[in-house]
Amino acid sequence: MAAFPAGVHDCKAAIRWLRANADQYGVDPGRIGVHGSSAGGHLAALLGTSGGDAYLEGDGPNAEFSSAVQAVVDHFGPTDFLRMDDFLQPGWMVHLRPDSPESKWIGGFIAENAEKARLANPIAYVDPADPPILIVHGDKDSTVIFNQSELLFKALSKAGVQTKLVKVSNAGHGYRPVPEGAEISPSREEIAAMEAGWFESLLGRPKAK
């Protein structure tokens, strides 16, 4: 796995490529949204908060095009690596260790590479110019705890960014019911409809072919 920030560079290069080839593929370059779950949610949030940041832009092709996005949906993504063990309980994933996914992602133990860990945090780049961000997270997530979404939501709100935080009750990581057999609320279908509505309200409906 290539260490951070290579993955972010790839994502931003992909968005620039879309804009460079917008006419060929019928893409409106002014209406691009991203979403992701868990590690993908982390990347989606980073794309939303880090628009224009040279460190995360990379030196890939189509540099004359913007990698900014106009709407984001983040499903239970990490937002502050060094606070992922806040409120740790027995049986929950421990992140403050050399072999954690976050340590592997930045290429070193996050506790010993605090500045690089900070640079990988979506929360580090929040400013008033960020696009609207919808955040959805299960209240019983023991892999990426709910406070990660609360931290991002509070930072976005303080900056005046349009945002919404949806807490999914009885839901673990990936919206797995906790305990098994419990009913999550909102349901998966309702979450999907909420996400579609978020993008539609901000980007408009896709044009019929």
Strand order in the sheet with 163-168: 33-37, 71-75, 133-138, 163-168
Q: Give the pLDDT band (50/70/90) at residue 2.
A: confident
Tell me the percentage of the chain whose pLDDT exceeds 70.
Answer: 98
**Residue in the block written with tokens 């070193």:** 108
Q: Which of 24, 67, 27 is nearest to 49 (CA)?
A: 67
**Amino acid identity, position 201:** S
Q: Where are the beta strands (DSSP E) in the chain?
A: 33-37, 71-75, 133-138, 163-168
pTM above 0.85, yes or no: yes
pLDDT at 205 over 90: no
Per-residue pLDDT of 148-194, as tens digits, reads 999 999 999 999 999 999 999 999 999 999 999 999 999 999 999 99
Fold of 6-203: Rossmann fold (3.40.50)
pLDDT at 117 over 80: yes
Is residue 98 reached through a cis peptide bond, with omega within 30 degrees of 0 on the bond before it? no
Per-residue pLDDT of 93-115, as tens digits, reads 999 999 999 999 999 999 999 99
- Token code pair at residue 132: 């609207």
